[in-house]
Structure 1
Amino acid sequence: MLNSIWHYLLYFFGTAVFIYMGVVMLFYFIMFLISAVQLRRQYQLNDEEPYEDLLNVSYTTPLSILVPAYNEEKGIIGSVRSLLSIEYPEYEVIVINDGSSDATMQQLIKEFQLKKVNRVIRQQLQTKEINALYQSELYEYLYVVDKENGGKSDALNAGINISHYPYFCSIDGDSVLERDAFLKVMKPIIDSNGDVIASGGSVRIANGCQIENGAVVSVGLAREPIVVMQVIEYLRAFLMGRIGLSRHNLLLIVSGAFGVFSKRWVIEAGGYSKTVGEDMELVVRLHRLLKDRKEKKQIVYIADPVCWTEAPDEMKYLSRQRNRWHRGLFDSLWKHKKMMFNPKYGSIGMVSMPYFFFIELLGPLMELFGYLFIVISLIVGGIYLEFAYLLFMMMVIYGSLYSMAAVLLEEWSLRKFPKVQDIFVLFFFSLTESFWYRPLTVIWRCHGFIDVLRKKTGWGDMQRKGVSQ
């Protein structure tokens, strides 16, 4: 009797994982086709679009660039330098020192000759107390806010309160932008005459690149395998995921490392909330606000504008990052669970929210069940062996071949990697993904579920080595 129950349960879980993986693979195949067509179309247009017109001040919308910084002494100077030299006609840079315990503030004061300024700050969003506001004597459009520690969302809200312009961009303190990135990411906002209220660009891994004076001089790959795998992972997430979702206004994530937002709509939505996934939660809340008010606005993703950021190069820091991302995903979906399968929210409620729940959130659990089924089948043997081999092949296709497809999209369109050997390295590591890297990310993300049950809310310590010098 017990033996029959055991075999029934094994068959049930194996079949469930098999069907789940089949549906996910079909979904990603459709996403790949949509992304390939859209990316190629954007790439062909980018060669012809007159971005030079956007350099005209009378034509371009001014922009506030917000840089939340907490213990970023190793990368903050290079990041700010890159922002001071971007191609954009009218903008301001606001660095928010969120109670750093290292020399972040001292370095900023010394490097940019900051002086205190007296100014009444309109508290449109509630934040921790601001100790002082500084302005650079070298660059009049550079401001630095020194405030009590309140977390990234609190720092961004403080920056929004201080900003002068109708649109703002959030940039991580360890990031470096390509010089024309803002021209490209702002173009859909300007062209839409207000219909696009948020726009996000691609984020790439800076490790292995040569960066001088806040600018990427040459693009390369790091030597560490886990960093190379993150390069592939970012290509897959941005080029295959977000392009397809953006095409139908289904995007629920604009990366906190590089995203432009309408200040008016963000303030009406209540600003950034205190959560480990503040970037996604804000976008979901904006969609919810727009649907409640029956506003036909868009949130889009543009592949070409690139922001280069430092990636963890040690397992313990990478595991903390993926754990935090998954907790942030759960938090965002849980806070807005009433949108799920709710026709009131249109395609966001009926397609996008279920996608992020069933594929992004539950995906690691289903993959973990798949790995356990394969191991148990190898032990039990019999009829389950062929089932296990088939499931393993599906997981290889899902984990490795789709990553290779993302590398192919990169080489076919954007071509950010000039060295042929780098493309070969990316293809090789894509093939190995299912055998070591993907199981690790599954474990890290599943641990995020455990931490959700434990009600863990912290970010965890992250190491910065300063690639943006």
Structure 2
Amino acid sequence: MPELETLALGVVRFAETIAWAVIATGLAQNALYLYQLLLAARALAQAPPVNQAALLWRRYAEAAPPITLMAPAYNEALTIVESVRSLLALQYPHFEVVVVNDGSKDETLQVLIDAFELHPVERHYDLAASCQRIRGLYAAANQPRLLVVDKENGGKADALNAAINLSRSPIVCSMDADSLLEVDALLRAVAPFVEDPERTVAVGGTIRIANGCKISFGRVIEVGVPKNMLARLQTIEYLRAFLMARLAWSRISALTIISGAFGLFRRQAVLDVGGYSHGTVGEDMELVVKLHKHYRRLGKPYRIAFTPEPVCWTEAPETMAVLSRQRARWHRGALETFVRHRDMILNPRYGRIGIVGFGHILVVDVLGPIIEIFGYVLIPAFWLLGVLDIEYLWALLAVTFGFGIVISVGALALEETELRRFPNARSLAVLMGAAILENFGYRQINNFWRLRGTWQFLTGAQGWGKMTRKGFSSQT
């Protein structure tokens, strides 16, 4: 039966091709992660963070430019007061806080009015960046640094544009209304603007998980490990994403994203590229890419940096339903930016951003989830059917689990070696277990969520989805 033998041989070759494609993609991704880990370790070793707040003040306070903190708020009544108190207590010489109530349907505006004794005010501003109608401005005599903007709903990008229009500072800081900044975070984050004022246009800082920490009056007073397993796994994820990946890409001038939860931007640079773009849930990444494109086209020197020590604390989702919506949205935002700026993909005109930055997005975000899911399903299926030898299955498992554990544990080791934020050996042991455990199920589920984000992008889905939070007052 030569026809059957030919067919069988064809099936085997097809299965082997699929297997090698999956394994090669996995090796490429993990090689990138390992490269990031080494770059980040070198960067931290060469420029360790300054630990003393007093030294930071002496070094940067005199030359530090004024900053406007922009906090968009939509249905944030549960956490908004703690967040604003945290912002007003920051150690920085000249700053203002602009909270934008983006048409909330809950009591966000009213709790702000009650907590800070706000009253209506007038303030001149230009509509330099596009935003929905501003319904009113509120301020308080006893809080001269605070301005609350009430506007019609337009989404986060729209709210940030409104804050930029009302800003009176050369540097603006975008953040989430449900986040808490450490008291010296601005002094640390502004360092690149002080040290390299001509070139620096944007700086990002580290985001950490507040779940499990003790919080009082808008400050993290004791770092802890989350009791909730999902939040614990996200703690490792955040270490890997910020302390490793973003520090590494900043090191080689290929950083494509600054988190919307905490990032500093030169106001005029943001206006030069039209402000935040509407119609995307990835407005933070899209703005950074626009800045890269703008300065590359002009041929002007610029710098977009990441500093590991300015810490912003955020509440992580503790249920699968909320976390899945968040991750699908994040992935959809990355794909939206990738497609909007597809002319940059592997384009030498845009230097390392086009080659390394967009090449990384192509391999990890666009192709990665699809190929990984194919591997998880097809390679075990082919092995069970007797089409593939056991060596292919072992190779997939080694790439998936072996490299994953090395990268996750490496990121945790980097944190403990250089920053030492976690209080005791028990906390590190618990997180070590999470660093290992996340590779056995959690990473795979994440890929399904990312595929969901791909489907939402392809079908033109819009919106953020409901994000339920416990609130900082309950974090212990």
Whether TM exceeds 0.5 here: the answer is yes
1:349 to 2:337 alignment: no
Q: Which residue number in structure 1 is paired with residue 110 of structure 2?
A: 106
Counterparts of 1:77 and 1:147 in 2: how far apart (Å)?
A: 18
Q: Which residue number in structure 1 is paired with residue 369 of structure 2?
A: 364
1:117 to 2:121 alignment: yes
Greater mean deviation of Cα atoms: 190-199 or 225-234 = 190-199
Query: What is the percent sequence identity of the aligned residues?
Result: 41
1:434 to 2:463 alignment: no
Trace 1:298-447 onto structure 2 (pairs within 5 A): 298-381=303-386, 383-447=388-452
Aligned with 1:246 (options 226, 245, 250): 250
CA contact (8 A) 1:199 1:302 kept: yes
Aligned with 2:63 (options 59, 65, 89): 59
1:95 to 2:96 alignment: no
- TM-superposed deviation, 1:195: 1.1
- TM-superposed deviation, 1:46: 5.3
Counterparts of 2:449 and 2:373 in 1: how far apart (Å)?
A: 11
1:137 to 2:141 alignment: yes
Q: Supply the AA of the counterpart residue of 1:213.
A: F
Q: Which residue number in structure 2 is paired with residue 220 of structure 1?
A: 224
CA contact (8 A) 1:53 1:59 kept: no
Q: Which residue number in structure 2 is paired with residue 169 of structure 1?
A: 173
Counterparts of 1:276 and 1:367 in 2: how far apart (Å)?
A: 24
After superposition, what is the alpha-carbon deviation per residue over 1:399-427, rounded to whole angstroms, capped at 9, x for unaligned?
A: 22211111111111111111211111111
Scaled by the length of structure 1, the TM-score of the pair is 0.97
Counterparts of 1:155 and 1:271 in 2: how far apart (Å)?
A: 11
Counterparts of 1:361 and 1:425 in 2: how far apart (Å)?
A: 33
After superposition, what is the alpha-carbon deviation per residue over 1:19-38, rounded to whole angstroms, capped at 9, x for unaligned?
A: 11222222222221111111
Greater mean deviation of Cα atoms: 351-360 or 143-152 = 351-360
SS in 2 for 1:140: strand
Greater mean deviation of Cα atoms: 343-352 or 290-299 = 343-352
After superposition, what is the alpha-carbon deviation per residue over 1:117-157, rounded to whole angstroms, capped at 9, x for unaligned?
A: 12232110121000001112221110000000000000000
Counterparts of 1:196 and 1:282 in 2: how far apart (Å)?
A: 15
Trace 1:237-316 onto structure 2 (pairs within 5 A): 237-274=241-278, 275-316=280-321
Count of paired positions: 468
Ranges of 4+ aligned residues in structure 1 off by more than 6 Å? none
Taking a change above 3 Å as real, the CA distance of residues 468 and 337 of structure 1, as seen in their structure-2 partners, is farther
SS in 2 for 1:143: strand
Q: Which residue number in structure 2 is paired with residue 159 of structure 1?
A: 163
Q: Supply the AA of the counterpart residue of 1:118.
A: E
Q: Supply the AA of the counterpart residue of 1:98.
A: D
CA contact (8 A) 2:53 2:184 kept: no
After superposition, what is the alpha-carbon deviation per residue over 1:307-361, rounded to whole angstroms, capped at 9, x for unaligned?
A: 0001100000000000000000000010000011212111111211111111233
- TM-superposed deviation, 1:214: 0.4
Greater mean deviation of Cα atoms: 261-270 or 334-343 = 334-343
Gaps of 5+ in 2: none
Greater mean deviation of Cα atoms: 259-268 or 113-122 = 113-122
CA contact (8 A) 1:64 1:169 kept: yes
After superposition, what is the alpha-carbon deviation per residue over 1:440-461, rounded to whole angstroms, capped at 9, x for unaligned?
A: 1010001111111111121111
Counterparts of 1:49 and 1:397 in 2: how far apart (Å)?
A: 43
**Please, what is the CA RMSD of the aligned residues?**
1.5
Q: Which residue number in structure 1 is paired with residue 72 of structure 2?
A: 68
Counterparts of 1:53 and 1:468 in 2: how far apart (Å)?
A: 33
After superposition, what is the alpha-carbon deviation per residue over 1:252-274, rounded to whole angstroms, capped at 9, x for unaligned?
A: 00000000000000000000012
Taking a change above 3 Å as real, the CA distance of residues 436 and 271 of structure 1, as seen in their structure-2 partners, is same
Taking a change above 3 Å as real, the CA distance of residues 201 and 75 of structure 1, as seen in their structure-2 partners, is same
- TM-superposed deviation, 1:47: 6.1
SS in 2 for 1:458: coil
Aligned with 1:26 (options 21, 28, 31): 31
- TM-superposed deviation, 1:44: 5.7
Counterparts of 1:398 and 1:136 in 2: how far apart (Å)?
A: 54
CA contact (8 A) 1:211 1:468 kept: yes
Q: Supply the AA of the counterpart residue of 2:157.
A: S
Q: Supply the AA of the counterpart residue of 2:17.
A: F
